[in-house]
């Protein structure tokens, strides 16, 4: 079999983790990624019948039973992923009963998947229910988005509108808006359920004073989704520092933008009647 460290899906994970660390969005062990893979992809590199370890899980993952995921490890530093993939990443399969995971590769120092695994799996379930092509869930501490949660209204509509107004591309990239959950303890099923509820309607979910979750069909799409929202948050930060806003993209212009690119802004988020 081929060396799994040369697998395209593993190189994608390594490159993305390295970029997240480079940008300062995943300091220390402050982030996690899960990548849904097909058995055909995995079987080129591993004997899928050879289970290294089994780990119980306090979450009913039966909806994903038999599914394969490449997942970052608990307590692992993103800066180390590139130089030691087998130690910092793992390839797992959700057990048939949905009550645990089977490690097929990785976590070579005895490690385990991220403590946020239940949140990831819940979000995968939610996204797959609306988009069967969804494969990636990504969590990071994008700096300016995190900062916005201290100074901006946390109402989802208001938060989304501000981001849309900061960069022309934002409405095109995330017309479904940004979800916001209350502050909750990370690593719990409670925050996982709150996040997955939002994921049924949007691919971006903000965790106030913590970070953001993103989901998408590919690693690039998901990274780019967060990257675009973060750029808008950075522009917002600079605008606030410069002084009062004198002009911005109007709701009518946002509607025209959506029509031009064939995307539908989230219902009720544009005040078109007031502009008329």
pTM: 0.93
- Please tell me whether residue 34 adopts helix, strand or coil conformation: strand
Residues 6+ apart with CB under 8 A from 60: 98, 99
**Numbered residues of the known binding site:** 139, 141, 210
pLDDT above 70 covers a percentage of the chain that reads: 99
pLDDT at residue 248, as a whole number: 94
Cβ contact 233:142 at 8 Å? yes
H helix or E strand, kind and range, residue 56: strand 53-56
Domain 1-115 listed as CATH 3.40.225.10: yes
- Please tell me whether residue 64 adopts helix, strand or coil conformation: helix
Domain boundaries, the chain: 1-115, 117-127+137-266
**pLDDT exceeds 50 at position 142:** yes
Q: Please indicate whether the domains covering 1-115 and 117-127+137-266 agree at the CATH topology level.
A: yes
pLDDT at residue 219, as a whole number: 96
- Complete edge-to-edge strand list for the sheet that includes strand 68-72: 53-56, 100-106, 89-94, 68-72, 32-37, 136-140, 211-216, 204-207, 179-180
**Numbered residues of the known binding site for Zn(2+):** 139, 141, 210
Q: Quick one: fold of 117-127+137-266?
A: L-fuculose-1-phosphate Aldolase (3.40.225)
The pLDDT tens digits of the residues spanning 21-59 come to 999 999 988 899 999 999 999 999 999 999 999 999 988
- What are the residue numbers of the active site? 116
- 3-state SS record for 86-149: HHHEEEEEECCCCCEEEEEEECCCCCCECCCHHHHHHHHHHHHHHCCCCCEEEEECCHHHHHHH
The pLDDT tens digits of the residues spanning 79-119 come to 999 999 999 999 999 999 999 999 999 999 999 999 999 99
Can you tell me the distance from the alpha carbon of 194 to that of 198, in angstroms, rounded to the nearest whole number? Answer: 7
Reported as a pLDDT band with limits 50, 70 and 90, residue 273 is: low
* Mean pLDDT value of segment 172-201: 95
Cβ contact 89:72 at 8 Å? yes
pLDDT at residue 29, as a whole number: 87
Task: Kindly report the average pLDDT of the chain as a whole number.
Answer: 95
**pLDDT exceeds 60 at position 183:** yes
pLDDT at residue 275, as a whole number: 43
């Amino acid at each position: 079999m081929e060396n799994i460290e040369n697998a395209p899906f593993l190189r994608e994970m390594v490159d993305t983790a390295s970029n997240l660390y480079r940008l300062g969005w995943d300091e220390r062990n402050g982030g996690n990624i899960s990548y849904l893979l097909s058995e055909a992809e995995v079987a080129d590199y591993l004997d899928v019948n050879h289970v290294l370890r089994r780990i119980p899980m306090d979450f009913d993952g039966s909806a994903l039973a038999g599914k394969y995921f490449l997942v970052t490890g608990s307590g692992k530093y993103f800066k180390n992923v590139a130089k030691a993939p087998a130690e910092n990443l793992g390839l797992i399969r959700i057990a048939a009963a949905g009550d645990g995971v089977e490690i097929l590769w990785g976590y070579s120092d005895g490690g385990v998947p991220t403590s946020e695994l239940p949140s990831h799996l819940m979000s995968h379930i939610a996204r797959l229910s609306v988009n069967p092509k969804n494969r990636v869930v990504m969590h990071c501490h994008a700096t300016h988005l995190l900062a916005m949660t201290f100074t901006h209204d946390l109402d989802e509509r208001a938060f989304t509108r501000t981001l849309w107004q900061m960069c022309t591309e934002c409405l095109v990239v995330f017309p479904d808006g940004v979800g916001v959950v209350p502050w909750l303890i990370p690593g719990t099923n409670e925050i996982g359920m709150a996040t997955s509820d939002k994921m049924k309607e949007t691919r971006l979910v903000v965790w106030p004073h913590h970070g953001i979750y993103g989901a998408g069909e590919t690693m690039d799409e998901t990274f780019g989704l967060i990257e675009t929202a973060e750029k808008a948050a950075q522009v917002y930060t600079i605008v606030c520092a410069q002084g009062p806003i004198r002009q911005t993209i109007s709701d009518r212009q946002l509607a025209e933008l959506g029509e031009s690119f064939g995307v539908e802004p989230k219902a009720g988020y544009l005040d078109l009647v007031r502009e008329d």
